[in-house]
Structure 1
Amino acid sequence: MRTPLAPLALVLVAAPLLLGLSACSSADSDSSGGASGEKETATFQDWQLEFARCMRDAGHEYADPKADGTQNFSLGEGETADSLMADSTTCTKTVEKKLGKRPVAEKDEQAKRDREAQDDCLRKEGVDVPTTGAVDLSGVPASTLTKCDIAPPPEGFNSAG
């Protein structure tokens, strides 16, 4: 009997992402030499497909990623979450050796560009926007938020709680 495990799916999708993010800071210093052309040109989709193949080769029911990057899988009879996580870690390392670090999904890159544009707009409008952390928009006029392509909070919303 196969049991769909949506919560475990989140862990398995997040695990390779976290491994990829943890290696981002050292990616520039990892010059392994040799032919790295393929590693530099792998797309997010290529990386996800290779990861899915590796998981299937390890004996797991692991579907190819959908267009939005999500992947579905089932924990087969006799499989454990521990074995699935161990194989996920192994496959992440295997795919990184073949294709390099996991590329950032285009939708994540676009969201980052959108946030940066909104922050720049807010700064031009005189709002103090820190380079890291959350931005308090409670005192920002709705017209400024609209100008910066930020949806104003619903009327009566009080962020102070």
Structure 2
Amino acid sequence: MTIERTEPATDAGERAMLEGWLDYHRRTLESKCEGLDDAQLRTASVEPSELSLLGLVRHMTEVERGWFRKVLADDDAGPLYYSDEDPDGEFHLTEADTWDEAYAAWQAEIAVARDNAARFALDDTSKGRSRLTDTPFNLRWIYTHMIEEYARHNGHADLIRERIDGATGD
């Protein structure tokens, strides 16, 4: 199966543009993982780094959860993969960690993100706060940050995927 990615229309309105680019980058990360088995998805970029495609998907699950649940909607569902004792837990993989579980969790968080965002206008401020600041954020800022977050990590994913099997592309 080939992951379909569509750029937003060049004349799209602001919200459609932001949502379109966020979805484009979500699909890009998914495409970087396409066709790999769990062992390949756990392959670290380069020692001593633990950065892997599976870890990136788990990280983006936490990022979606944090911004669209905790910050935007003030729903602190708690972390899935990290803890106070292991703040980078999403990157600390074991043989028990699977693509099927991580993918299902990621897609569930994307669905919640879309539902929560649909209840806000771009200028509406968040009901919650981030763990780093007590400042509220408007939805526009959160969308822009999420696009930046995915774009940065998709660059990491490009390099990891090329290391695994030589596949390159955008």
Rg larger in 1 or in 2?
1
> Structure 2-normalised TM-score?
0.30
> Structure 1-normalised TM-score?
0.31
Is the helix fraction higher in 1 or 2? 2
